[in-house]
Amino acid sequence: MQHAFITGGGRGIGLACARTLLAQGINVTIAGRDLETLEGAAAALAEETGKAGVAICVLDVTDEAGVHQAIAEAAQLLGPITILLNNAGQARPAPFAKTTAAHWQQMLDVNLTGAFHCTQAVLPQMLDAGWGRIINIASTAGLKGYKYVSAYVAAKHGLVGLTKALALELATRNITVNAVCPGYTETDIVQDAIANIMQKTGRSEEQARAELAAANPQQKLVQVEEVANAVAWLCQPASGAITGQSIAVAGGEVM
């Protein structure tokens, strides 16, 4: 039985991925910082899927010692972790000239270093099992630039670079490493972006949403289920030849 550990698993893309993987018979641990959110998500998953193989884990991915402890405990509960979804992320806008060192460091810590901590903690379990899937939820911001989020863009580019380097290191170990790069997706991060546009420009919610959707040639926001389907495909045993890739789920925004 495979065991997937999903950071940022209580909502949005992480929760959608948990739902999809559970439906495929994979045990899932959803991790995040808020216990109440995780408990609600786990209850919803159990009711929706009828699956018992879901656990929760309160975790801050920037806490190295806490990450190692949480992943060890998750393995004891549901078995060795063979699928890691580094999904926890945070985006805060600021013009570059007003980006403080603390802001810059926070974006790196959450979006890049957190994935480093989790991957280092999980990797020995995958090596022992002789099989693994590491999937980093990056962003189209890891493939191109966006204004006013330079720290976020830099962190996501770093995550794509980590994906490529680690894929080569593990190419002969039956462990694949890939990045999934969503465009603007119907998540809390995008809701925050919409609110920021409304505040800064005085536009309506509909106008702000349309502005973000305009970046997508399909003229729509990506849905979390569309991202989850890409993740689920990469988790399949038959996807073993796919590694080191950064797959855009963005309606053609990046080609």
Across the beta sheet with 3-7, what order do the strands follow? 54-58, 27-32, 3-7, 83-86, 132-137, 175-182, 246-249
Sign of dihedral through CA atoms 5, 9, 13, 17? positive
Question: Looking at the annotation, which residues are catalytic?
Answer: 152
> Strand 246-249 relative to strand 3-7: parallel, antiparallel, unpaired?
unpaired
* 169 three-state secondary structure: helix
What phi and psi values does residue 92 have, to the nearest 5 degrees? Answer: -130, 125
CB count, 10 Å around CB of 226? 18
**201: burial class by Cβ within 10 Å (0-12, 13-18, 19+)?**
exposed
* 103 three-state secondary structure: helix
CB count, 10 Å around CB of 89? 28
Helical segments of 202-245, H only? 205-213, 224-235
